Structures are given as structure tokens and as C-alpha cells.
């Protein structure tokens, strides 16, 4: 677990996962005097800072171990500089004229696999789970990557006390993360099944016959 990140005055201290999910939170009682929305925003900002620091460190570590960008970039780790935008990669060379029969059938399969992978990626990025504590004092939202993307505190949250509120925030964020993970696992299973079906589908020859590759 990364080192805790503190607010300027040291009245808020949070430790998070590499994605920014809080796993430990300390609040000074003085923080309870702030409006709930302001306190929630400050906690969120510290969670993002903690995640960014951890991800930059992990990226540096992987680079030092010799991993290539093709391995590191899909991890979506933060970097110090702006991340270059990458256009959608399409296998243009697969669209050459004159390719028929099994080759065309294979190209069609590859394109379907590519589209399926892209759709899976888009679905995973859209995953979001929001959980509210039973007493209604804390609501947390977590995305499919395990990052807390939203935090809301009820008007009576300060009455819980600093320690109890901090614990409730961590527990509620963790519950939201579990829901998001379950949704992602479901999508992954659906993706694996559809990918197997594509791989098992027979290829078509130029004469209309079929060919079923082994494995």
C-alpha cells in the first residue's frame, strides 16, 4: 500500500489502492465543520492524488524492469506528462483487393474479433457502481477499474464523528468496488464466450465449402 497522502494542514490523511480506492482514511474532528460537499470533494482530490503518485511509481518501476510500452500502456497508468492520444488502429492491410476464399473468411473473423475487443473495452470503461450506506450518510461511486469516481456525504454525516465517518467512507467505497468488480466479471465471461464462438466458427472456402481449424 502506498504512503498516505495528507491535506495541506494534515487534517485529512488517506491511503488508496493504485486506482484511487480508499483503504484507510483519517479525519481530524475539525474537518466535520466543513460543508459535506466540500469535505467529500477534498477527500476525492486526495484519492486522485494518491492514485496518480502510485501509478507514476508503478510505470517507472515497469520501465526500469524493461517492460515495453505495449505492455505498460494497456494498464492505463498515469504519467507525468500529457498522455498522447492514439487513434483507433485498424488493420488496413487486411483490406487489400484480390484476397478470396479462406483468406477473406479469416479476415472477416479477425475484424469481428477486433470489434468485439473494442466493444468489450468500451463496456468495461462504462462500468460504474454506486452504493449508499444503510444510514444514508455516505454514497460512493466506483468505476470498473476500481477507482472512486464520486463521493457524497449526507447533511447528518458529521454527527457520526471523525473516526466513524472515515470508516464508513472506506467501507462504502469498498462495497461499491465489489459491485463494479462483479459487473466486470460478468462482462468478461460474456466476452470470453463470444470470442470462443468466433474462434470455433468454420471458415468458408471460395467454393462455398467450410474449413474448421483445429484448436
**CA 14 to chain CA centroid, nearest Å:** 20
Stretch (H or E) spanning 96: none
Q: Give the separation between CA 93 and CA 101, rounded to whole angstroms.
A: 17
Q: Are 53 and 79 in contact (CB under 8 A)?
A: no
d(CA 173, CA 17): 12
The pLDDT value given to residue 105: 64
Q: Percentage of the chain surpassing pLDDT 90?
A: 42
Residues of the chain with pLDDT under 70: 1-2, 80-106, 108-109, 113, 115-116, 118-125, 198, 203-215
The sign of the CA dihedral 137, 167, 15, 73 is negative
Residue with the three cell numbers 466540500: 38
Q: How far is CA 174 from CA 43, 133, 143, 212, in A?
A: 15, 11, 12, 46
pLDDT, tens digit (0-9, with 9 covering 90-100), for 97-139: 334 555 666 676 677 767 667 666 666 667 889 999 999 999 9
Amino acid at each position: 500500500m502506498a504512503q498516505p497522502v495528507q491535506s495541506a494542514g494534515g487534517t485529512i490523511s488517506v491511503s488508496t489502492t493504485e486506482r484511487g480506492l480508499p483503504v484507510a482514511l483519517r479525519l481530524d474532528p475539525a474537518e466535520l465543520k466543513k460543508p459535506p460537499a466540500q469535505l467529500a470533494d477534498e477527500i476525492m482530490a486526495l484519492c486522485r492524488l494518491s492514485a496518480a503518485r502510485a501509478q507514476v511509481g508503478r510505470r517507472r518501476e515497469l520501465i526500469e524492469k524493461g517492460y515495453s510500452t505495449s505492455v505498460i500502456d494497456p494498464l492505463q497508468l498515469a504519467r507525468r506528462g500529457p498522455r498522447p492520444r492514439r487513434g483507433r488502429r485498424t488493420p488496413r492491410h487486411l483490406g487489400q483487393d484480390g484476397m478470396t476464399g479462406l483468406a477473406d473468411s479469416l479476415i472477416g473473423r479477425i475484424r469481428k474479433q477486433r470489434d468485439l475487443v473494442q466493444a468489450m473495452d468500451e463496456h468495461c470503461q462504462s462500468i460504474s457502481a454506486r452504493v449508499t450506506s444503510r444510514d444514508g450518510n455516505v454514497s460512493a461511486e466506483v468505476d470498473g477499474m476500481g477507482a472512486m469516481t464520486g463521493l457524497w456525504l449526507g447533511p447528518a454525516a458529521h454527527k457520526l464523528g471523525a473516526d466513524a465517518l472515515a470508516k464508513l467512507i472506506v467501507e462504502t467505497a469498498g462495497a461499491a468496488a465489489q459491485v463494479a468488480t462483479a459487473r466486470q466479471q460478468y462482462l468478461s465471461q460474456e466476452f470470453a464466450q463470444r470470442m470462443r464462438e468466433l474462434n470455433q466458427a468454420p471458415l468458408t472456402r471460395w467454393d462455398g465449402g467450410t474449413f474448421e481449424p483445429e484448436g
